[in-house]
Amino acid sequence: MKDYDVVVIGAGPGGYVAAIRCAQLGMKTACVESWLNPEGKPALGGSCLNVGCIPSKALLDSSHHYEHLQHGLDDHGITTSSVKIDVKKMIARKDDIVKTLTGGIAGLFKKNKIDWLQGHGKLLGDGQVEVVPTGKGKAETVKAKNIIIATGSVPTAIPPAPVDDKYIVDSTGALSFDSVPKTLGVIGGGVIGLELGSVWRRLGSEVIVLEALDTFLQPVDQQMAKEAHRTLKKEGMDIRLGAMVTGTEVKGKKVKVTYTQGGKEQSLEVDKLVVSVGRAPNTQGLNAQEAGLKINARGFIEVDEHCHTNVPGVYAIGDVVRGPMLAHKASEEGVMVAERLAGQSTEVHFDNVPWVIYTWPELAWVGKTEEQLKAEGVEYGKGVFPFMASGRARAMGETTGMVKILACKKTDTILGIHIYGPNASELVSEAVIAMEFGASTEDIISTIHAHPTLSEAMHEAALAVDSRTIHI
């Protein structure tokens, strides 16, 4: 029986990063992964690289170019004629990016001498993991001093809208349509629903989003959410709030969707329907409970702040445990577990995990929302700076949105930074660094920001907390 210091189960951004860090720190490491790509070939990278972060951003970029070429350049004096989209080529480009990046992980495994055990991992207890190959071949059992579970998540299914992968699809299906649906229904107005809805709307679909909650983007700072709602509606996304889907029927080549809204039964017909109502932790076939692991009522493996499970020597990270289902959170947990196994005292600061929604403009934030601070009774100061007043944003023709900084009234410590605007996904890093260093708004104020940049809006928002803005 092969013996390892660490066996990682799952090679998404949690698992593959954990495996690389373990190997870098001198541990004999293997990673079990069962993913098969659409060609039936084994692939590393998990949901993030294969059907998540990367392919969705590839399509968001392609569709953004298409829309921008058609509608975003008039003011620049650039006119275009007959802009066309070749959907098959766009999807092939996305598939190519995925192939290159997943192949890159295989290369990193080789470089770091990590054994990729291709197959499905099953916990047998006592540090043993059975690996059942997805193709031909015999199951193999390996032994590990430590096991890191990084089995991720899968799209949540709902009984009223069973996925048939033809007319009713989940997020994976919506990344591979071979033509632009004339009408597209999206169940769930969360991060994934809005990103995928944006892709197809920009390419010409009439997109109708059905969201069960009455509040748009409830977990997001509501000043930002309202601004994003306004923009998305203006661009033509039909967002119906308080709309709970109760049934679907595929008839001919159409999907009839029934939903209740304001106590009334409603219906609509679409060409394709995307079910994007969240993701569920994945422990299928892992034998977790039988191996003694505690799993909570929502299916997450229970862990402490250092990702220890209740079983000594077994750790769990990423989407399969509590906390935001985000790739970077999974990776940081992976690094933490690897480094703690090597005797270091690494921590993950969960309060400083950034969030991004890649609509255009983008929405990004870190820390508390105004609603959270109010609920917690924290006294705070607030500074807002609109991109309309930013020279760089004006030069770019991207003036929608704002930066908002929330800081403790007494100490001036920054409690939350919210950005709705161009390149918010990049701008948020300054916010994360500031919060990680426990910065005050005065620290951002005394930091020189290059001119002209979008980041000056951050500087001005910090000034705004103390009513000292220069440009408004």
What positions carry a catalytic annotation?
451
What phi and psi values does residue 128 have, to the nearest 5 degrees? -105, 140
Q: How far is the CB of 146 from ligand FAD (least distance, A)?
A: 16
Quick one: 105 or 439, whose CB is closer to ligand FAD?
105
Quick one: 326 or 405, whose CB is closer to ligand AMP?
326
- Work out what residue 367 binds among ligand FAD, ligand AMP, none; the CB cut-off runs from 5 to 8 Å by kind: none
Candidate list 190, 197, 334, 354; residue touching ligand AMP; CB under 6 A:
190
Candidate list 10, 45, 189, 416; residue touching ligand AMP; CB under 6 A:
189
CA distance 422 to 412: 27
Binding site for ligand FAD (CB under 6 A): 9-15, 32-35, 46-48, 51-53, 56, 120-121, 150-153, 171, 192, 282, 285-286, 318-319, 325-328, 330, 358
Q: What is the DSSP string of 169-229?
A: E-TTGGG--SS--SEEEEE--SHHHHHHHHHHHHTT-EEEEE-SSSSTTTTS-HHHHHHHH
Which tokens go with 179?
């033509």
Q: How far is the CB of 156 from ligand FAD (least distance, A)?
A: 11
Give me the residue label for tokens 């003011």.
75
CA dihedral 178, 184, 186, 187 (to 10 degrees): -110
Candidate list 72, 242, 278, 324; residue touching ligand AMP; CB under 6 A:
278
- Work out what residue 98 binds among ligand FAD, ligand AMP, none; the CB cut-off runs from 5 to 8 Å by kind: none
- Work out what residue 319 binds among ligand FAD, ligand AMP, none; the CB cut-off runs from 5 to 8 Å by kind: ligand FAD
Q: How far is the CB of 357 from ligand AMP (least distance, A)?
A: 9
Which stretch in 6-14, 26-34, 274-282, 374-382 sits in contact with ligand AMP by CB under 6 A?
274-282
Q: How far is the CB of 204 from ligand AMP (least distance, A)?
A: 24
Which stretch in 46-54, 176-184, 186-194, 284-292 sits in contact with ligand AMP by CB under 6 A?
186-194
Of 425, 435, 13, 401, nearest in space to 191 by CA: 425
Residues 57-86, interacting with ligand AMP (CB under 6 A):
none
CA distance 199 to 193: 10
Exposed, middle or buried: residue 241 (CB in 10 Å: 0-12, 13-18, 19+)?
Answer: middle
Which tokens go with 175?
């990344």
DSSP 388: G
Using Cβ positions, the residue closest to ligand AMP within the complex turns out to be 190
Q: Is 98 helix (H, G, I), strand (E, B) or coil?
A: helix
Q: What is the DSSP string of 362-386?
A: EEEEEE--HHHHHHTT--EEEEEEE
- Work out what residue 34 binds among ligand FAD, ligand AMP, none; the CB cut-off runs from 5 to 8 Å by kind: ligand FAD
Residues 98/55, Cβ–Cβ less than 8 Å: yes
Residues 202-221, interacting with ligand AMP (CB under 6 A):
210-213
- Work out what residue 365 binds among ligand AMP, ligand FAD, none; the CB cut-off runs from 5 to 8 Å by kind: none
- Work out what residue 187 binds among ligand FAD, ligand AMP, none; the CB cut-off runs from 5 to 8 Å by kind: ligand AMP
Q: How far is the CB of 398 from ligand FAD (least distance, A)?
A: 20
Quick one: 133 or 278, whose CB is closer to ligand AMP?
278
Q: How far is the CB of 277 from ligand FAD (least distance, A)?
A: 12
Of 117, 97, 87, 111, nearest in space to 37 by CA: 97
Quick one: 48 or 464, whose CB is closer to ligand FAD?
48
Q: How far is the CB of 3 from ligand FAD (least distance, A)?
A: 19
Q: Is 304 helix (H, G, I), strand (E, B) or coil?
A: coil
CA distance 333 to 347: 8
33: left (phi over 0), alpha (psi -120 to 50) or beta: beta
Contact code string over 150-169 relative to ligand AMP, x by CB under 6 A: --------x-----------
Q: Which residues bind ligand AMP (CB under 6 A)?
A: 158, 187-192, 210-213, 244-245, 276-278
